[in-house]
Structure 1
């Protein structure tokens, strides 16, 4: 598979993953029962698996790794923070305020990850 196809798969899965997170967050804020539907619980995991596999494949293909490439380290660290905030926003936040605060934080971390990916610079100074 070519680099261009892998990158397209990766970017597409990033977009779908983000859209699913945003949709699930809106449903959470509305208290919607849709969150309990089977497809809502399974689909994000499938998309995120494609996202992770494509990310690892791309990093391997371009011979970069988080240990030697600071921008990739920043993306991986950001991903862990994003996942933690997402879990707090959608599942573990005890109050609505906590969930919304975590959701806002996740948005900021997602933006950081995207900017690092685009600039290859882990220290973004605006």
Structure 2
């Protein structure tokens, strides 16, 4: 339990960094910038998100929380999967700019939901 606070702060920092970098890449996509294809834009999200997921798993294990006994964690995992799908549509797989823009804003809203659930520890944070 001695590393809990350090790992929690790392998790929060990586979550904010991940969201900010996704927003940055979304802006690059909207501007149709060649920078979106830059090596750092392709590698950094994987490094950040791997650290974020590793910290999340560590925190869940040491606090003995799981999706089965913590509905808010189940909500975060479900929303994370949706966020990943929407993010890939926004940045790569969307066939038209309109689809990409809609997916980008939906992904950002999903990210906001994940943050709200994490802060409230409630799968329905608007009721907390």
Q: Common fold, TM-score beyond 0.5?
A: yes
Give the match for residue 28 of structure 1: 29
Write out aligned runs for 1:1-126 (5 A): 2-126=3-127
Number of residue pairs matched? Answer: 126
| C-alpha separation in 2, matches of 1:109 and 1:2 | 29
| C-alpha separation in 1, matches of 2:102 and 2:74 | 25
Unaligned runs of 5+ in 1: none
In the superposition, the TM-score normalised over structure 1's length comes to 0.96
Displacement of 1:73 in angstroms is 0.2
| C-alpha separation in 2, matches of 1:22 and 1:124 | 22
In the superposition, the TM-score normalised over structure 2's length comes to 0.95
Q: What is the root-mean-square deviation in Å for CA atoms of aligned residues?
A: 1.0
